[in-house]
């Protein structure tokens, strides 16, 4: 058994097709198939169910592939340790971040990371929270940026910042004229929310519970941008994290943003990595750069006063 054969098995588990797995592994299909058979012979068990249309791993094959990912990740980490011994701020980091934060935080952070770590290759993976946690446990990611609380004793948690929410309503909504809201002002409202699996949905539901608000039934958005457009189309109101309404994000017409009185509803963001990782000192330095984003980014006052003008009505000639 060698690392190359384990990498072939992992590729086959991911692609479930000998041709695509071989292409991803930069070998011919016969070579990959032959090595998988040799691995099966060496272990004395079947790893793969070969069918005319697709490839399925046996239960044993899936478990060995899962463990192989961890082995390959540890090998990559060993290489990274050696690399960082020669040059502590170079190498490759695989960082996971969830979709309702990544597009809005990264434009403010990436330039500073490039300046601070010019030789660092940062590979970003945008996934929902549960997927990121799974990839961290399997070694497919080195670190993640996630929302608290975190219930995993195997992960180190480094707090980064607290991000407040604002309420987004259409211009003609009864709350649109308010400069500031109390939580109880939402008690008779039903909010548009994201679909299951997004941590922002859980955070918004918690706010709804605290405020006595409900969820607007019949619709669940797949993204934060869809929620924004639903508000613009007069479908309803929603909570928006403050970074999602800050430049360079373009504002939508017919959307009024309203801040909350202190203490405003918010979410707490942290960087997490495996406690067993040998790269903890470097991750701590990386987290410090991310934590050092300008404080004004979390100030709601600017975004609620800088409202886009609604587009003028188009006059059509009478027939």
Per-residue pLDDT at 319: 36
- Does the residue 19 lie in any domain? yes
- Does the residue 265 lie in any domain? yes
Percentage of the residues of the chain whose pLDDT score is greater than 90? 63
Per-residue pLDDT at 106: 95
* Structure tokens that stand for 248 in this block: 């360079």
* Structure tokens that stand for 34 in this block: 């032959």
Residue 317, pLDDT > 50, answer no
Give the 3-state secondary structure of residue 262.
Answer: coil
Q: Do 128 and 186 share a domain, yes or no? A: yes
Query: Given pLDDT bands bounded at 50, 70 and 90, which one contains residue 307?
Result: low
Domain tally for the chain?
Answer: 2
Q: Do 64 and 95 share a domain, yes or no? A: no
Q: Do 104 and 201 share a domain, yes or no? A: yes
> Which residues on adjacent β-strands are paired with residue 92?
121
pLDDT tens readout for residues 98-143? 999 999 999 999 999 999 999 898 999 999 999 999 999 888 899 9
pLDDT tens readout for residues 185-210? 999 999 999 988 888 899 888 998 88
Q: Do 225 and 276 share a domain, yes or no? A: yes
CB burial readout 229-259, b (16+ within 10 A) else e = ebbbeebbbbbbbbbbbbeebebbebbbbbb
Give the 3-state secondary structure of residue 195.
Answer: coil
pLDDT tens readout for residues 243-260? 999 988 888 889 999 999
Query: Phi and psi for 273 in degrees, rounded to 5?
Result: -155, 165
Task: Supply the CATH number for residue 8's domain.
Answer: 1.10.10.10
CA distance 131 to 197: 10
* Structure tokens that stand for 122 in this block: 């940062």
- Does the residue 83 lie in any domain? no
- Does the residue 84 lie in any domain? no
pLDDT tens readout for residues 80-98? 777 766 776 777 889 999 9
Overall average pLDDT of the 222-247 stretch: 92
DSSP for residue 153: T
Q: Do 154 and 264 share a domain, yes or no? A: yes
Element (H, E) at 126: strand 120-126
Q: Do 190 and 267 share a domain, yes or no? A: yes
Q: Do 39 and 141 share a domain, yes or no? A: no
**Single pTM value for the model:** 0.73
């Amino acid at each position: 058994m060698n690392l190359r054969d384990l990498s072939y098995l992992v590729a086959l588990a991911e692609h479930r097709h000998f041709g695509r797995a071989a292409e991803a592994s930069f070998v011919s299909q016969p070579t990959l198939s032959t090595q998988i058979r040799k691995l099966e012979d060496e272990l004395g068990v079947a790893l793969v169910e070969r069918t005319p249309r697709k490839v399925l791993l046996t239960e044993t094959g899936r478990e060995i592939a899962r463990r192989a990912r961890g082995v390959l990740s540890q090998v990559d980490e060993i290489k990274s340790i050696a690399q960082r011994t020669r040059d502590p701020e170079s190498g490759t980091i695989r960082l996971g971040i969830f979709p309702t934060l990544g597009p809005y935080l990264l434009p403010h952070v990436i330039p500073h990371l490039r300046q601070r770590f010019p030789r660092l290759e940062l590979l970003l993976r945008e996934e929902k929270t549960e997927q990121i946690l799974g990839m961290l446990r399997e070694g497919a990611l080195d670190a993640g940026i996630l929302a608290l609380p975190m219930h995993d004793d195997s992960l180190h948690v480094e707090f980064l910042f607290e991000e407040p929410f604002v309420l987004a309503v259409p211009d003609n909504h009864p709350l649109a004229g308010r400069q500031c809201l109390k939580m109880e002002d939402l008690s008779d409202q039903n909010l548009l929310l994201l679909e299951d699996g997004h941590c922002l949905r859980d955070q918004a539901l918690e706010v709804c519970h605290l405020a006595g608000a409900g969820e607007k039934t019949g619709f669940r958005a797949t993204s934060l941008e869809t929620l924004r457009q639903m508000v613009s189309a007069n479908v309803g109101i929603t909570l928006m994290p403050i970074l999602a309404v800050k430049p360079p994000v373009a504002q939508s017409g017919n959307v009024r943003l309203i801040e909350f009185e202190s203490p405003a509803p918010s979410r707490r963001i942290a960087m997490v990595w495996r406690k067993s990782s040998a790269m903890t000192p470097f991750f701590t330095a990386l987290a410090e750069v991310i934590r050092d984003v300008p404080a004004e980014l979390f100030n709601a006052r600017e975004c609620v006063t800088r409202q886009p003008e609604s587009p003028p009505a188009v006059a059509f000639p009478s027939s």
